[in-house]
């Protein structure tokens, strides 16, 4: 009951504060506080840019991220300017972009997002394909290699290990596993952390501090790197991977369902969950997966492929609605279907790895943040995927958020209205 109460509070906070979007000198306002509209509802967007009076404001309006609906130039005066007025008869996204010589601001909106449908059908043998893979994975005896990571004075009472878990496919699952040392059996939740796209960046790698941070919040935590890379290696190791074996990894094997790069990534997710759920301290109920972008996509995938996942925090998630272009929408990162001309072959491979199909049997709580001006993981792609899930959904639509966290004034707004409620949800879930 307490968890549901917090969810309601979160939604109320966001609704009250998300109407205004501004750069230093351009402020955009829209009629819906959340950026969500229904079919036929009038959308009005106004701009205020008094300090730029006399300058020209260039307006562009896009449908589904890439379809130019309207463009015009307005002379800025001391009053607010009507920059867009319209409606939509179908589910879609709208982005309004305003630019002057030195400034720009964008604001996004969605029309009937809960009615968005996948761009392509789920394969008829989807279930049998994944059941066979899971059966093969389960038949592989767990082999664990571990090395104790020495902590600091502040880490007393908590253990951390560099873990390697054997897996199907070319790479094992690797990451850091941390826990409280004296926890009673069946007393702790699990937190699985998954990473954003890339190879050598700090955001791509597992770190002991990440795992220990959640262990200190009373959880068994595994910080999983996405690629089965070795942990704590010299910089040139990661640079060599990024420039060699893992260069544009997201485009590898797109025409064969047994060679798609994400197949190995998803299997490592399942293997890590197998390892974690065998820990005697797990309470047998709570398993939370947290990730952003590619990590957000992995969180959704975990919820769809493994019923033991009870909740996810998926921040601007990737891997959603890869066939959105067939329905006139921009698909989610990495937009694999738009990358080559071998469309027929990709139609036989990619649907097995699209979160839109994988989520259809999920009953996990899905807490997700969606940027309404995101050009990497479009808002329509995320909604199309989560619409398939059957569990509770807590959705934060952020009209001013691109893919990356906003900065400046909007960054401070985001910290208060989105980040803090997210952290409170996690804290409450782990109690």
CATH of the domain at 287: 3.40.50.1820
- pLDDT at residue number 9: 29
Which tokens sit at 351?
């649907």
User: Does any domain span residue 5?
Assistant: no
Residue 132: burial class (beta carbons within 10 Å; 0-12, 13-18, 19+): exposed
**Same domain? 410 vs 335:** yes
Q: Is the pLDDT of residue 14 over 80?
A: no
Domains identified in the chain, total number: 2
User: Does any domain span residue 291?
Assistant: yes
**Residues with Cβ within 8 Å of residue 9, at least 6 apart in sequence:** 421
- Chain-wide mean pLDDT for the chain? 92
- pLDDT at residue number 408: 85
**Same domain? 393 vs 309:** yes
**Same domain? 88 vs 210:** no
**Do 59 and 97 contact (CB within 8 A), yes or no?**
yes
**Same domain? 139 vs 89:** no
| DSSP letter, residue 99 | E
Q: The tokens 């926890």 sit on which residue? A: 183
**Same domain? 143 vs 174:** yes
User: Does any domain span residue 279?
Assistant: yes
Q: Which has more confidence, 271 or 103?
A: 271
pLDDT tens per residue across span 221-278: 999 999 999 999 999 999 999 999 999 999 999 999 999 999 999 999 999 999 999 9
Q: The tokens 């199909």 sit on which residue? A: 357
pLDDT tens per residue across span 60-94: 999 999 999 999 999 998 788 999 999 999 999 99
**Same domain? 147 vs 232:** yes
Q: Is the pLDDT of residue 23 over 90?
A: no
Q: Is the pLDDT of residue 412 over 50?
A: yes
Q: Is the pLDDT of residue 2 over 60?
A: no
User: Does any domain span residue 120?
Assistant: no
**pTM for the structure as a whole:** 0.94
Query: Where does the pLDDT of residue 341 fall: very low under 50, low under 70, confident under 90, or very high at 90 and above?
Result: confident
User: Does any domain span residue 45?
Assistant: yes
The 10 Å Cβ neighbour count of residue 430 is 17
**Same domain? 343 vs 396:** yes
Query: Where does the pLDDT of residue 192 fall: very low under 50, low under 70, confident under 90, or very high at 90 and above?
Result: very high
**Same domain? 95 vs 136:** no
**Same domain? 257 vs 153:** yes
Which of 115, 139, 163 terminates a domain? The answer is: 115
Q: Does a cis peptide bond (omega within 30 degrees of 0) precede residue 334?
A: yes
**Same domain? 313 vs 238:** yes
Which of 69, 84, 115 terminates a domain? The answer is: 115
Tell me the backbone φ, ψ of residue 301, rounded to 5 degrees: -60, -45
- pLDDT at residue number 102: 83
Q: Is the pLDDT of residue 20 over 70?
A: no
Report which of 226, 251, 269, 331 is spatially closest to residue 130, judged by C-alpha positions: 269
Span of 98-102, 161-165, 336-340 with lowest mean pLDDT: 336-340
**Same domain? 235 vs 380:** yes
Which of 115, 134, 152 terminates a domain? The answer is: 115
Query: Where does the pLDDT of residue 1 fall: very low under 50, low under 70, confident under 90, or very high at 90 and above?
Result: very low
User: Does any domain span residue 266?
Assistant: yes
- pLDDT at residue number 283: 98
**Same domain? 197 vs 284:** yes
- pLDDT at residue number 21: 62
User: Does any domain span residue 245?
Assistant: yes
- pLDDT at residue number 306: 98
- pLDDT at residue number 19: 52
pLDDT tens per residue across span 358-386: 999 899 999 999 999 999 999 999 999 99
User: Does any domain span residue 157?
Assistant: yes
Buried b (16+ CB within 10 A) or exposed e, 241-270: bbeeebeebbeebbbebeebbbbbbbbbbb
Name the residue range of residue 257's domain.
126-429
pLDDT tens per residue across span 291-314: 999 999 999 999 999 999 999 999
Query: Where does the pLDDT of residue 25 fall: very low under 50, low under 70, confident under 90, or very high at 90 and above?
Result: confident
pLDDT tens per residue across span 141-184: 999 999 999 888 889 999 999 999 999 988 999 999 999 999 99
Question: What is the CATH number for 99?
Answer: 2.60.40.1930
- pLDDT at residue number 10: 35
């Amino acid at each position: 009951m307490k968890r549901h109460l917090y969810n309601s509070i979160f939604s109320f906070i966001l609704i009250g504060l998300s109407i205004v979007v501004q750069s230093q000198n351009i402020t955009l306002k829209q009629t819906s506080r959340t950026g969500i509209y229904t079919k036929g509802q009038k959308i009005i967007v106004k701009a205020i840019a008094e300090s730029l009076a006399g300058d020209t404001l260039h307006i562009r309006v896009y449908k589904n991220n890439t379809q130019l609906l309207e463009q015009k130039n307005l002379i800025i005066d001391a009053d607010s300017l009507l920059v867009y007025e319209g409606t939509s008869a179908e589910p879609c996204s709208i982005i309004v972009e305003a630019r002057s010589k030195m400034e720009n601001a964008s604001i996004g909106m969605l029309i009937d997002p809960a009615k968005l449908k996948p761009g392509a059908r789920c394969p008829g043998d989807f279930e049998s394909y994944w059941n066979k893979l899971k059966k093969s994975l389960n038949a592989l005896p767990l082999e664990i290699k571990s090395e104790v990571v020495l902590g600091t004075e502040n880490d007393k009472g908590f253990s951390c290990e560099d873990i390697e878990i054997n897996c199907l496919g070319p790479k094992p699952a690797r990451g850091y596993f941390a826990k409280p040392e004296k926890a009673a059996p069946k007393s702790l939740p699990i937190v699985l952390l998954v990473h954003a796209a890339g190879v050598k960046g700090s955001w791509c790698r597992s770190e002991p501090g990440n795992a220990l941070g959640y262990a200190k919040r009373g959880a068994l935590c595994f910080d999983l790197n996405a690629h089965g890379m070795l942990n704590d290696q010299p910089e040139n190791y990661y640079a060599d991977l990024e420039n060699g074996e893992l260069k544009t990894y997201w485009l590898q094997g797109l025409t064969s369902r047994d060679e798609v790069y994400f197949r190995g990534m998803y299997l490592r997710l399942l293997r890590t969950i197998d390892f974690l759920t065998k820990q005697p301290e797990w309470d047998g109920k709570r398993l939370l997966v947290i990730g952003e972008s590619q990590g957000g996509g992995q969180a959704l995938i975990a919820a769809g492929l493994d019923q033991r996942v009870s909740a996810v925090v998926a921040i601007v998630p990737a891997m959603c609605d890869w066939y959105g272009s067939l329905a006139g929408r921009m698909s989610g990162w990495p937009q694999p279907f738009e990358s080559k001309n071998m469309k027929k072959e990709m139609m036989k491979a990619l649907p097995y790895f699209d979160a839109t199909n994988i989520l259809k049997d999920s009953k996990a709580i899905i807490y997700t943040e969606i940027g309404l001006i995101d050009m990497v993981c479009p808002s329509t792609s995320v909604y199309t995927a989560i619409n398939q899930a059957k569990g509770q959904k807590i959705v934060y639509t952020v009209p001013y958020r691109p893919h990356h966290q906003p900065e400046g004034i909007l960054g401070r707004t985001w910290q208060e209205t989105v980040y803090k409620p997210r952290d409170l949800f996690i804290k409450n879930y782990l109690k």
